[in-house]
Amino acid sequence: MKARWGLLLLPAMFVSLALLGISQSVFLAGSLHRDLGAGLLGKSWTLYNYAQFISDSYYLETLELSVAVSVMATALTMLLAFPVAYIIARMQSRWSLVLLATTVVSSFVSIVVKVLGLILIFSANGPFNKLLMSLGVVSEPVTIVGSLTGVVLGLMHYSLGFAVLLFYSVVITVPRSLEDAAEIMGASRIGVFRQVILPLCLPGIVAGALVIFNVSMGGFTSTALIGAGKVLTIPLVIERTMLLENGYGSAAAVAALLLATVLVINVVSVATVSRMRRGLIL
Amino acid sequence: MKPFSVSPRARRALLSGITLSVAYLFLLGPILFVALASFDYGQRAYVVFPPQHFTLAAYNHIPSRYFTALWFSIKLALACTALACLVGVPAALGLVRAKLPKKSLLLALMRMPLQIPGVVVGLAFLQTYYAIGSATGWYAVGTFWGLVIAHTFAATPFVIGTLVAVLQRFDDTLEEAALVLGASAWGTFTQVTLPVLKPALFTGALYAFMVSFTDVPMGVFLTAPGKMTFPVEIFNAMQFDFDPTILAASTLVTVLSLAAVLVVQRIVGLDVFVKTAGAD
């Protein structure tokens, strides 16, 4: 019986690893050839595309912009998602299940629909600006669509749902009695948060932050639509270079760098979290 | 604490209420707003809020290309789901149960597509299809199966992930009991193992379906005129020619998606979703 499970795994593993290996190695190989224009690649192997990335300020600015946007989106998502997850986890009513279910269900709505809604709400004559203007906060509509703010909002919207679920699963592992005990012993709310909740949730918070950052770095759909072609992050540059300029080699090099960034962060995340769990850090 | 201030308990409840309202208004507002705006149809390229009229005109004017794309997307997502299960179920069973060296590395490799941004997957498969095309003369770019393969690649880890999570908690003695009591290996699998796995299987399948059904970045690289997925069709319309009918088409698809979730929820219950969604 035991031996058969291994046999069962073979074809599935073969298919999965073949798809992974072939697709990734083809484009990585492509990144090592120079573009000759019209979608043709040179024959000789070269690091030209990577050298180009490092020396060309256009690419470096793109990278800087992507990191900045992703860091902002990550920070803001966490500032909203963690309290929400905490409140839901500590709720003692059926509402907690309703809120969790709503979060899960909303994640199944197509991203283009959500982004369409975001654009309508935050457009110059949308309800958000109307509200701000009627409250007298601003006199002119705030430009959100086609700006950095809009792109950050789009990324936040994309991450918020799964961040809440992720942090919920973290907070739920911290027994409420620990907080009660700390409070009875005279700790303030802030004290409880800093000395009980935060240390116990830290591995989960770090892991969650890195997941959100990775997802933001790879964010394409919302950035393309809300950025309206004015905010070009790495994924957008990859798409444009490949599809509009037929720069197979250079697009592949940028994609390889994005992939490397995401994978390195992931490995660092796994390593950090497991060290934290074993008590080696902090 | 000053005697006239609100109790800390009430203040905390108020603060919690505000936080939840802001978060869920942000999360659900856009979806509801699209639905609301779809009933206010005018010959203009923008949306007026609050809605001026209530009419189904936008629904009557949905261009046929959206329905063509929707049907294409449904077929694509079904094929992708079937293939993802065909690969993912045996992979998950093997990964949890077989005695293998380096199992965790293998699991990490099988889940790797989750880490790869959609744009990179799209680009990688596009270049792979070009390479295969120039070698064999068969180009998968802009074909149904070209999209199916890329989507399956991205969707399979969801099936593997949900199943592995359940299999690791699976009580082996159930199967042993069935075998001892005279059930065949196949009978044990279909009558004991499969029913226990059913909720995870449905959840994984739903995720796989949605990965394909809502994908834009892979589709941008791999679709072609006439072989358009619904989200890419909407994506293009939003970039190049906004028309109020996309509100109606989007709302229709949202309702369809929610109906699909509801059906699966009826079969397996929602707690599986919450458990498996948090796990990734």
The CATH number of the domain where B218 resides is what? 1.10.3720.10
How buried is residue B94: exposed, middle or buried, by Cβ count under 10 Å (0-12/13-18/19+)?
A: buried
- Confidence (pLDDT) at B18: 94
Is B280's Cβ below 8 Å from some Cβ in A? yes
Q: Do B19 and A113 touch (CB under 8 A)?
A: no
User: Cβ distance A157 to B26 under 8 Å?
Assistant: yes
* Residue B106: per-residue pLDDT: 86
Amino acid sitting at position A128: F
- Indicate whether B21 belongs to any domain: no
Residue A197, pLDDT score: 84
Of the partner residues A12, A103, A126, the one whose CB lies closest to the CB of residue B87: A12
Q: Do A9 and B91 touch (CB under 8 A)?
A: yes
Segment A71-108, tens digit of pLDDT: 999 999 999 999 999 999 988 888 888 898 888 888 88
pLDDT one-digit tens code per residue, B185-208: 888 888 888 888 888 888 889 889
Count the domains in chain B: 1
B5 located within any domain: no
pLDDT at B48: 62
Residues A173-231: pLDDT tens digits? Answer: 888 888 888 888 888 878 888 888 888 888 888 888 988 999 999 999 999 999 988 88
Those residues whose C-beta lies under 8 Å from the C-beta of residue B7, and which sit 6 or more positions away, are none
Residue in chain B lying closest to A86 (CA) = B16
Q: What phi-psi label fits residue A41: left (phi over 0), alpha (psi between -120 and 50 degrees) or beta?
A: beta
Residue B44 lies in a domain: no
Q: Using 50, 70 and 90 to split pLDDT, how confident is the model at B280?
A: very low
Q: Is residue B236 part of a domain?
A: yes
Tell me which chain B residue has its CA closest to the CA of residue A250. Answer: B123
Domain at A29-277: CATH architecture: Orthogonal Bundle (1.10)
Residue B3's pLDDT is 54
pLDDT at A38 > cutoff 70: no
- Mean pLDDT computed over A17-44: 82
User: A116: which chain B residues are within 8 Å (Cβ-Cβ)?
Assistant: 30, 34, 234, 238, 246-247, 250
Quote the percentage of chain B above a pLDDT of 70. 90
Task: Kindly determine whether residue B278 and residue A169, on different chains, have CB atoms separated by under 8 Å.
Answer: yes
pLDDT at residue B279 tops 50: no
- Does the structure show a pLDDT above 90 at B81? yes
Question: Are B247 and A221 inside 8 Å of each other by CB?
Answer: no
User: Which residues of chain B lie closer than 8 angstroms to A17, CB-CB?
Assistant: 109-110
Q: Which of A6-15, A127-136, A160-169, B156-165 has the lowest mean pLDDT?
A: A6-15
Mean pLDDT score, A21-25: 89
The answer, for B187 touching chain A at a CB cutoff of 8 Å, is no
Q: Which residue has the higher pLDDT, B278 or B211?
A: B211
Q: Which of A1-10, A118-127, A266-275 has the highest mean pLDDT?
A: A118-127
Closest chain B residue by Cα to residue A229: B239
- Between chains, do A169 and B279 touch, taking CB under 8 Å as contact? yes
Q: Are A17 and B110 inside 8 Å of each other by CB?
A: yes
pLDDT for the residue A70? 95
CA distance B77 to A244: 28
Least confident of B28-42, B43-57, B215-229: B43-57
pTM score, two decimals? 0.88
Least Cα distance to A166 among A102, A218, A211, A107 occurs for A211
Domain span at B154: 60-279
pLDDT of B74 above 90: yes
At residue A231, φ and ψ (nearest 5 deg) are -115, 105
Which residues in chain A (118-147) have CB-CB distances under 8 A to chain B? 118-121, 123, 125-127, 130
Both tokens of B181, joined, read: 């009591």
Judge whether residue B277 has pLDDT over 90: no
Q: Please check whether residue B210 lies inside any domain of the structure.
A: yes
Contact B26 A109 (CB under 8 A): no
Is residue B34 a part of any domain in this protein?
Answer: no
Is A193 at the interface with chain B, CB within 8 A? Answer: no
Put simply, the answer to whether A8 touches B98 (Cβ < 8 Å) is yes
pLDDT per residue as tens digits for the range A120-178: 899 888 888 888 888 888 888 888 888 999 999 999 999 999 899 989 988 888 888 88
Give the mean pLDDT of B15-42.
89
Please indicate whether, in this complex, the C-beta atoms of A30 and B274 are within 8 angstroms of each other: no
Asked if B125's CB is within 8 angstroms of A16's CB, the reply is: no
Chain A hits for B24, CB-CB cut-off 8 Å, are 99, 102
Residues on chain A touching B253 (C-beta within 8 angstroms): 110, 113
Most confident of A167-181, B17-31, B106-120: B17-31
